[in-house]
Structure 1
Amino acid sequence: YAQWQARWGHCEILDGIGSAEMFHIYITNYPGDVVPGSLGRTVPGYEARVVGPDGQDVPDGEMGRLWIRGESAALCYWRDQEKSRAVFKGDWVVSADLFTRRDGYYFYAGRGDDMLKVRGMFVSPLEIEDCLCRHAAVQECAVVGVDDGAGLTVPKAFVVLREGHAASDDLVSELQQHAKTELARYKFPHHVSFVDALPRNDRGKVVRRLLV
């Protein structure tokens, strides 16, 4: 965001999020009220909660699943009663997205089914990816969980390099050290593979299961 602002001046990026279940965007940044890294505040007419595994709202700064309520919500999934029961809880729609909330702003932390459990603690691949992408050699990357051979899950990064940078063991060590410096040490990618491109679906989203 800072690079965008430096190049284009006062042209703001208004990130937001919506879903098919809600038929509308329900959280967004607003002109003159942009918090970089966040998806903004709730849109008028919608309510949001960040909910823990116990079904209770989590304190600000803690990660939980996003619940949304608004008049545009769907009633159910067509001919899928089991999924409908899991997602539609009264007036609330339970998304698959994980968020934190700070001062009324919502920060995306990844999808619940993408989360890794490393040393007994949940880790968002997005957090590791964002860290690695801040390294000058990295164009883009994707992180998945792999077995370390002892039955434990560890992060593995698939990295696309920027032009002018070459894959090497030294660069692997450099990227790992970069992650250790910026993140909790257990979150660093234990394995790094360099690839020409990341697998994507027809909507441009990375298909992580093809990397496992």
Structure 2
Amino acid sequence: MDTQAIKKESETIVSSFDGEICDWLPVYDISQMRSDSEIINRALIMNAMINIAFNAPIDFIKNYIDENQLAEHLSDVEKTILTQSEENISEQDKINLHWYLESLWALIWVMNKFDDLSFPYPIPDDMIDYCPDLQQDEGPEKFTKDIEIRSFEEIYKMRDVYYRAMWSCRHYQLNNDPHDNFNMSIIMERRRALSWCLDKQLDWDDVPQDT
């Protein structure tokens, strides 16, 4: 895999959306990708946890996770959230879970459910159609049947685009000149998911977001 060629391709993509380029921004090292089951389990957990941001009963979400043998794959932060009640969960926790929508959208791309994960575009209104609907008592089948996880190289290329897009976003922020194509929260959350997929050593609660 030619990481320098991937870097150049990513720079072209970022430039096409009016982004700034940092020539000396390095390339990622090659790491060990997670298994298909790890990626699917993370997507299932996130899809469930998102419902808490929309005021679903926490016990209901915990039971779903337990019934589908997902508890061992929870992050430490997620485990803590599931010990709380609707009355004492913090607004910040709910905000963080709401942003899971963007990370999950990236994982659905990793699962090859759609093709275009361009960073300027928010999640579509029909995202729910790709996901198990817990309110309709749907099981995990939408994430477990007929899934073909993209290759390391495909995900690496996309992560590289988001890495360089994040640098451009920070450039605009530092210059107090926000750009419509570079939303930091969208870019950060999707990059987090892509990076986690590509490196078995990363902790979901602490994925590096440096540029």
Which structure has more strand as a fraction of its residues?
Answer: 1
| Structure with greater Cα Rg | 1
Which structure has more helix as a fraction of its residues?
Answer: 2
Q: RCO greater where, 1 or 2, for CA within 8 Å and sep 6 or more?
A: 2
TM value normalised by structure 1:
0.23
